[in-house]
Structures are given as C-alpha cells and as structure tokens.
Structure 1
Amino acid sequence: MSAYNFTSHPAAFLLMGIPGLEHLHVWIAIPFCLAYTVALLGNCSLLFIIAADAALHEPMYIFLAMLASIDLVLSSSTLPKMLAIFWFRHREIKFYACLIQMFFLHSFAIMESAMLLAMAFDRYVAICKPLHYTTILTGPLITKIGMATVVRAVTLMTPLPFLLRRFHYCRGPAIAHCYCEHMAVVRLACGDTRFNNVYGIAVAMFIVVLDLLFVILSYIFILQAVLQLASQEARYKAFGTCVSHIGAILAFYTPVVISSVMHRMARHAAPHVHILLANFYLLFPPMINPIIYGVKTKQIRDRVLGFLLRKDV
C-alpha cells in the first residue's frame, strides 16, 4: 500500500479495464488480441513489401509506409498493457509510464489524422495535376510533410504531461479505463482542471475539424476532375485509386464521430459503452488499414500474391 501514499501524485495508477464488464475481461481480450495480431502482421507486411520493392518507392506508398508505422506505434502503446490487465490482472502502471503512454497514444492519433490528410493531398495531385505529380511530390517535400506531421503532434501533446504532473491526485489511484487517456487521468485530480478540459477539447476539435475539412475539400476537387474525364472507364479508374484511402478515412474518423456523439447524446449510458468505443477507435484503424490497402491496391496485392506463390513453390 505504500506505493499509493502520495503527497502530490501517486507512484502508480491502477488501470481498471472496462468497469462493469470485469467478469468478461478474459473473453474480451480474445478479439483484442486477434485485432492486435492482425495489426502487427498486416502493417509489418506492408512495410516489408514497400521497402523491398523499388517499384513501390513512390509518394503514395511512402505515405502508406508512414501510416503503417504510425499504426504500429498507436496499437503497441496500449494493447500489450490492456491484454496484461484482462488476462493477468496486472493493473498497476507507474505514474510516469502512464504519462508516457498518454503522450504516445494521443500524439500518434494526431499523426494518423495528419497522414490521412497528406494522402488526400497525394490523390489530389495525382488526379488533378497528373503531369506535375513527380515535380510537386518530390522527396524533400515528402520529408517535410513527415516532419511537420511529427512536429505538430509533439507540439500539441507535450504540454499535457507537464499539466498533469502539477496536480494533486486526491481521488485515489484507480483509473476507470483500459489505458491512460487524458481525461480519465484528469478526473482523479483535485483543483482547477478547467484548462485541461478546454485544452483537450480544443486540440481534438482543431485536429478533427481542420484535417477533415481539408480532406473533404481535396475530394471535392478530385470529384470535379474525375467527372470531367471523357470516358466512364477513365473516371472509374481514376476514382478507383482513391477507394483505399477513402476506406482508411472512414475507418479512422467514423469511430471518432460516433464516440463524440455518444458522449454528448448518451451521457447516462453505462461507462463501459464509452470505453469500448474508445478502444474500438484505437484498435480498428491499425487492424483494417493494411487489409484495405492489401485488397484494393493492385500493386501491393500482386506483390503479396507473388511472395506467397514463391514461398509455396
């Protein structure tokens, strides 16, 4: 019990998992583990295929490799600890480890949103300005986009650990969540937490609204360009290159919107409903993105099939 005798912040927190569904933790962990396994295998496969094939060293696939890397970190920042909670009841997480986990999961969620925006820009240039594609999306520009993605996320999330470190946590060490989500930690703090509340909402709204607005704007221009193509086959082919990206956008933003609506429209719903939605938001995109791109992107599909056939032979 000495670990929880604290004057400012506890030495450790206790992650409670999914309150109200403790009796189902062992079974809930099975689909979580499967989703994590698919995310690891799928994203690692994408990275291997893109790195090994020089023909895929193009802007579209470089952005895809960045997205796969982000998904790997995003899922790995939470899933191993969640499985330890569900299967082994290993609920304790050190205070600073909790802050680090929170920083990584929120930072990489912001990076994922930015990378989806970068991929929308890639599709816009490829369809609306095809003759200038290689001159616009050069190596240095792609590097700058990648650096901007990281810098924006780190800049926005760096204040959070310092803000949380200054609080006195008088409401105990038990976090009613599967991981160290920002507001779940803030709820344990005493004192004036209004700035944390406002800052968290402002960052979320800034990222989702701004990025999604530019993504939608890109697709408005893309749709206009596609509809101006002479033949139906050309229109189908041009828009077909966007299908995978649209799937990734829906996989990422749909859970965010649903979770936001549920928090406002169903405030009195059982706590485990909100926590399951939050977990779905972190689990689903890393799992489904490599499947979407593996199935819908011909170049990647052909590489995977070729690799499997050579292995069988």
Structure 2
Amino acid sequence: MSLSNSSDALPDTFFLVGIPGLEAVHIWISIPFCSMHFSALLGNSALIVIITIERSLHKPMYIFLSMLSATDLSLSSTTVPKMLQILWFGDGSISFSGCPTLMVFIHIVFALDSFILLAMASDRYIVICHPLHYALVLMPQTFGKTGIMGIICSMVGASPFIFLLNRLLYCGHRLIPHTYCEHMGIARLACSNITVNIVYGLTVALLTMGLDAVLNTASYMLILCTVFRHPSCKARRKALNTCGSHLCVILIFYIPAFFSFLTHCFGCHIPHHVYIFLANL
C-alpha cells in the first residue's frame, strides 16, 4: 500500500495503556520504577562528573563507561517519565507523530548501548590478550570514531521503522498495551499485513544486538582462555573481577531484551505484563 493512500487513515493520537491487567496496582508498581529511575539519574550523572574531572580516569575503559552512562541516562529519561505519567495519572495519550519519533529514539539509544558494551568487551580483550598493541589500537581519536560509527549504525537501522509504520492502514485501534512506544506494539494496531515489519524488526535485532551479543561472547571466551593460562593467581583474579562485572551487565542487558523482543513477535500466549516488565527492565 502506498504512503499517500494510507496517510488518510493515520490516527491523530495513540494511548499507552501501561501494564494491562495490573491497573489496580499501578501506583505500587510505580514506586520501584521511580526509585530505580532516580538511582540511575544520580549514579550515572555522578559517574560522568567524576570521570570528567578526575584526570587519572581519562583512560579507555572509563571513557567507554562514561559513554555507557550517557546512553543509559538518555534511555531512562526518555521512557520512565511517560511511564510514571501513565502509572500515576492514567494519562497515556501521545500523538501519532510523537509515538514513532520516541520509538526510533529508543531504538537508536538501545542499539548504541549494545555497541558500547561491545566496545568495552573489545577494550578488555585487547588489554588482556594483546597488551603490547593496546596503546596503538586505542588512541584518543579512536573514541570519537567509535561514537560516530555507533550513532550512524544505530540511526541507519532504526530510521526505516517510521516508513514501515506510515505505510500501514490503521482501522481505528489506538490502544497500545505498553508503557512506551514500541515498533511491534504500534504495528499490531494496523489492519494491514505486518509481515514486512516483523521480518525487518527481527533482521535488525539479529544484525545489531544479536551480532553484538555473539561478538561479546566470543571476546570474553578468548579473555577467559588467556586468563586461565596466566601463571599469576593475582593477575587472574584481577582480570576475572573486571570481566565478571562486565559479564553481569551484558547478561542483564541482553537476556530481557531478546526475551521481550521475541515474545512481542512470536509469544502470543505469554501474558502482556511479563514482557512489559522485562522491556522496562
């Protein structure tokens, strides 16, 4: 269907439901989310300030950490205020133009988060497995190029979602069973065939986050092989402590993300509130 033919059927406003089936406890649900939001704001802001003003922390690992904090601040500040507005006041209205824009921004920042985690894994891989090449590979200009490349790749992958949504014909359905605008959540409101949306969304997920997850896993497998061959117990313990925290973050990031995405595409029998909780996590 052409864009010109479908544009007349575009609704003016969408309504985010929040967490379907749990409306009676929305206020209670908002308490931990609000606490985590302010903790994220305080913690990430403190990290950025400390890394900026402390010259001894102007090292690759800490620069990547500050970039990760910046993306986390952006993602939390984009999604949580609207979610709290829904949970507290029941106001889930959002314009049709605003919803896809918010969705694309969330996809861009989320993909950038994944890209930075991969950059951090690569940093650990080089410093542990190839320490003599570390200064040559991670020069100051590398960080700027890494950030620009991450933003470009994220935008290229997320921007087509707007066209894919605008081409659909909507038949008056406006309720999105979610706390924020999500590609498949909007697409399922259409009465057109959304196979292209499902295929593209799955392809983007596999080529961005899926590929990042595989490369992250490969990096840490190589790191572990190198660490366990090291003769010094102290060096092994130090490397495992550093990599252990990174692995925890990676698991917390990717497992709910993939579960939420795959459930939204294929898990029709899984309760809405389950994948909405994981998506918000």
The reply to whether TM is greater than 0.5 is yes
Q: Which amino acid counterpart does residue 16 of structure 2 have in structure 1?
A: L
Query: How far apart, CA to CA, are the structure 2 residues paired with 1:269 and 1:238?
Result: 40
Alignment-derived partner of residue 29 in structure 1? 30
SS in 2 for 1:172: coil
Alignment-derived partner of residue 83 in structure 2? 82
Aligned structure 1 segments of 4 or more residues deviating by more than 3 angstroms: 257-267
Query: How far apart, CA to CA, are the structure 2 residues paired with 1:101 and 1:192?
Result: 23
Alignment of 1:1-313 (within 5 A): 7-259=8-260, 267-280=268-281
Query: How far apart, CA to CA, are the structure 2 residues paired with 1:263 and 1:198?
Result: 13
Q: Which amino acid counterpart does residue 92 of structure 1 have in structure 2?
A: S
Distance 1:200 1:265, change over 3 A: closer
Q: Contact (CA 8 Å) 2:83, 2:179: kept in 1 or not?
A: yes
Distance 1:211 1:187, change over 3 A: same
Residue 141 of structure 1: how far off its partner (Å): 1.5
Distance 1:240 1:269, change over 3 A: closer
Residue 261 of structure 1: how far off its partner (Å): 6.6
Residue 35 of structure 1: how far off its partner (Å): 0.9
Q: Which amino acid counterpart does residue 248 of structure 1 have in structure 2?
A: V
1:73-101: CA deviation from partner (whole Å, max 9, x where unpaired)? 11111110010011011111011111111
Q: Which amino acid counterpart does residue 45 of structure 1 have in structure 2?
A: A
1:92-140: CA deviation from partner (whole Å, max 9, x where unpaired)? 1011111111011111111111111000000011111112212210111
1:40-65: CA deviation from partner (whole Å, max 9, x where unpaired)? 11110110010010111111011001
Alignment-derived partner of residue 302 in structure 1? none
1:182-222: CA deviation from partner (whole Å, max 9, x where unpaired)? 00000111222211111011111222321111111111221
Distance 1:187 1:211, change over 3 A: same
Q: Contact (CA 8 Å) 1:78, 1:179: kept in 2 or not?
A: yes
Residue 273 of structure 1: how far off its partner (Å): 1.8
May I ask how many residue pairs the two structures share in their alignment?
A: 275
Q: Which amino acid counterpart does residue 20 of structure 2 have in structure 1?
A: P
Unaligned runs of 5+ in 1: 1-5, 281-313
Q: TM-score, normalised by structure 1?
A: 0.83
Identical aligned residues as a percent? 45
Q: Which amino acid counterpart does residue 64 of structure 2 have in structure 1?
A: F
Q: Which amino acid counterpart does residue 120 of structure 1 have in structure 2?
A: A
Q: Contact (CA 8 Å) 2:227, 2:239: kept in 1 or not?
A: yes
